[in-house]
């Protein structure tokens, strides 16, 4: 057996095998850039500890960083890293029962609807994906159909990417244990729903909820009933 892939796998496992770094990565699944101090607060560690862990993640290529004034911003390096985290979450299974009302509420909100890097996940993401499949906008393998491309273009002003990023692809949902739509199309739908005020963030985390205007719009566009 070639030792190089095994070494790389072991190095990656060691990188993720730390609760503080794991908390950082899950926080960054919202797709935004966070400062080192914000992540330190979210993980409950000191600024110096956060800086050390973030440096390791950046050096490994899992995160990217940029500095603006005195602040150091970091975010996931890209969709591949987000996909890896979502698949690992699906593998380990749902969290154990929350012990407080606040934790229970937060967990339920994430399961109902959340961002997965730059697209929608949870019951909301899966429901949108199912509705698009039912209307022949997506194939069963979540490939965008010609009708789907026309629908996205006419309805949400979608322009296919010129980059090598897939237009549409499945992403395993770790709470629903089914696939939701990712790729450029999934990202555009997420951004469009936010821009129209049809979904909005809950607090500072990844959870989102559909607004009353969004319930009406999703009913008209895809036949979705309130989740």
The per-residue pLDDT for 101 is 45
Q: What is the pLDDT of residue 111?
A: 86
Q: Please state the pTM of the whole predicted model.
A: 0.73
Q: Report d(CA 57, CA 39) in Å as an integer.
A: 13
94 with 63, same domain? no
Gyration radius (Cα) of the chain, Å: 18
Q: Is residue 107, in this structure, part of any structural domain at all?
A: yes
- Give the Cα separation of 18 and 54 in Å (integer): 12
**Domain match, 12 and 65 both:** yes
Q: Rounded to an integer, what distance in angstroms lies between the CA atom of residue 11 and that of residue 74?
A: 21
* 61 plus 126 within the same structural domain: no
The residue among 77, 96, 124 that closes a domain is 77
Report d(CA 38, CA 61) in Å as an integer.
20
Last residue of a domain, one of 48, 77, 106: 77
Same domain, 68 and 127: no
Q: What are phi and psi of 226, to 5 degrees?
A: -55, 135
Residues 23, 72: one domain?
A: yes
The domain boundary, picked from 58, 77, 96, lies at 77
Residues 49 and 113 in one domain: no
At residue 145, φ and ψ (nearest 5 deg) are -85, 165
The pLDDT of residue 103 is 52
Q: Are residues 68 and 91 in the same domain?
A: no
Is 227 a member of any domain?
no
Give the DSSP H or E segment for 120: strand 119-121
Q: Are residues 115 and 199 in the same domain?
A: yes
Identify the segments of the chain with pLDDT beneath 50: 1, 97-98, 101
Domain around 89: 81-222
| Pair 73, 45 in one domain | yes
The number of beta carbons lying within 10 Å of the beta carbon of residue 177 is 11
- Residue 3's pLDDT is 58
**Tens digit of pLDDT for each residue in 10-26?**
999 999 999 999 999 98
Contacts of 70 (CB under 8 A, 6+ apart): none
For residue 226, the model assigns a pLDDT of: 77
Number of domains making up the chain: 2
Q: What's the pLDDT at 83?
A: 84
pLDDT at 1: 40
The SS3 assignment for 49 reads: helix
Q: Residue 7 is part of a domain; what is its CATH number?
A: 1.10.10.10
DSSP label at residue 45 = -
Same-domain pairing of 106 and 208: yes
In this structure, are 128 and 22 located in the same domain? no
198 and 158 in a common domain: yes
């Amino acid at each position: 057996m070639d030792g190089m892939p095994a070494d790389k796998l072991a190095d990656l496992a060691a990188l993720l095998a730390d609760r503080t770094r794991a908390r950082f990565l899950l926080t960054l699944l919202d797709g935004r850039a966070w400062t080192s101090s914000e992540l330190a607060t979210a993980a409950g560690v000191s600024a110096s500890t956060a800086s050390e862990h973030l440096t390791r993640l950046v050096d490994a290529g899992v995160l990217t960083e940029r500095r603006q004034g005195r602040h150091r911003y970091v975010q996931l390096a890209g969709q591949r890293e987000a996909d890896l985290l979502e698949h690992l979450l699906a593998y380990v299974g749902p969290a154990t029962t929350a012990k407080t009302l606040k934790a229970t509420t937060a967990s339920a909100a994430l399961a109902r609807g959340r961002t997965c890097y730059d697209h929608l996940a949870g019951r909301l993401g899966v429901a949108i994906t199912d509705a698009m499949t039912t209307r022949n906008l997506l194939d069963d393998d979540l490939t965008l159909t010609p009708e789907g491309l026309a629908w996205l273009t006419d309805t949400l002003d979608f322009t296919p990417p010129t980059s090598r990023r897939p237009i549409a692809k499945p992403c395993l949902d770790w709470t629903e244990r089914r696939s939701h739509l990712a790729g450029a199309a999934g990202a555009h739908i997420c951004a469009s729903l936010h821009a129209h005020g049809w979904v909005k963030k809950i607090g500072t985390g990844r959870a989102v909820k559909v607004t009353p205007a969004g319930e009406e719009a999703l009913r008209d566009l895809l036949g979705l009933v309130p989740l």
